[in-house]
Amino acid sequence: MNRRNAIKMVTLASAGALVFRSQLTSSVTAASTEPEGPTGPHVLPPLQYPVDALIPYIDGPTMAVHHNKHHAAYVKNLNTALIGQPESLVKTSVDDLLKNLNDVPESIRTAVRNNGGGHYNHTLFWQLLSPKGGGQPKGILAETINKTFNGYDKFYESFSAAAAKVFGSGWAWLSLTPKKTLVIESTPNQDSPLSAGNYPLLGIDVWEHAYYLSYQSARADYIRNFAKIIHWDFVEARYEKALH
C-alpha cells in the first residue's frame, strides 16, 4: 500500500468513526425528548428506576432506547390510530382494546394490535424488572409454579426454551388461563396473551432491540440473565390479584 492510499484509508476510517459517534450521541440526546405526535389518550409511563439500574444484565443505552424510543413509538402510534375514532373507543383502556380486538374497527385493528400490544407489553415489562430482583418466587405463586412445572428450575427451563424458540420478534410468557392455571406460552410480534383470553404474569421481550447492544446474537445469555432481575414480588402480587 502506498502512502497516499494509507492516508486515504485512515481518513475514511475516522470519518466512519465520527459518523458512528454522532449517531450514538444524537440517539442518546434524542432519547430524552418525546416523539412528535398526539400526547394522549395513552401515555408513556416513566421508568421507576434509572436506565442503568439493571447493569450488568441490561445495559443503560438499551434501556434508554427501549423505553424512550421503542415504547414511546408504540404509544404515539396507538394514539395516532385512535384519531377521529368514536369517543368510547378513544377512552377504552389498552387492556380492553386488546381483550376485544374484534370490536376495534377493521381499519385500525392491526395498528391497535401492534401498538396497543407494544404499549401494554412494555408497560408490564418495566415493572417485571428490578435491580433488587432475581432469586425465586415466593408464597402461593411459588407453590403453584412448583406444582405445575415440577419446581422453579424446571419452570425456568421451559420458560427459557419458549423464549429461545420465538422465531424473529416476540415474547415468551408465564400466563394465567381463564381456568386460573399457569401456562408458558409465546406470542409473535407485539401480540398480547390478553387477545387470546389469557392474563400475562411474567413476560420476556426477545425482540433484538431488548438485548442486542450487549448480547448481540447470544439470546440464550440474555434469557439466562433475565432471571437475575425478575421482580418476583410484583409477579406474585399480580398473580394473587388475578386469582381474586
What residues make contact with Mn ion under the rule CB under 5 A?
205, 207, 210
Cell 444484565 sits on residue: 57
Minimum distance from residue 70 beta carbon to Mn ion (Å)? 5
Minimum distance from residue 158 beta carbon to Mn ion (Å)? 22
Residue with Cβ nearer Mn ion (91 or 209): 209
Per DSSP, the three-state class of 214 is helix
- Distant-in-sequence, close-in-space partners of 130: CB < 8 Å, separation ≥ 6: 49, 229, 230, 231, 234
- Considering Cα of 79, then 81, then 86, then 91, what sign does the dihedral take? negative
For residues 177 and 231, what is the distance between their CA atoms, to the nearest angstrom? 21
- Considering Cα of 4, then 9, then 14, then 19, what sign does the dihedral take? positive
Contact 52, 61 (CB under 8 A): no
Residue with Cβ nearer Mn ion (126 or 149): 126
Minimum distance from residue 161 beta carbon to Mn ion (Å)? 20
Minimum distance from residue 170 beta carbon to Mn ion (Å)? 10
- Distant-in-sequence, close-in-space partners of 147: CB < 8 Å, separation ≥ 6: none
Omega cis (within 30) before 41? yes
Omega cis (within 30) before 56? yes
Per DSSP, the three-state class of 134 is coil
Cβ-proximal residue to Mn ion, closest one: 205
Minimum distance from residue 212 beta carbon to Mn ion (Å)? 11
Minimum distance from residue 182 beta carbon to Mn ion (Å)? 23
DSSP labels, 23-53: HHHHHHHHTTSPPSS---SS-PPPPSS-TTT
Residue with Cβ nearer Mn ion (118 or 137): 118
Residue with Cβ nearer Mn ion (191 or 205): 205
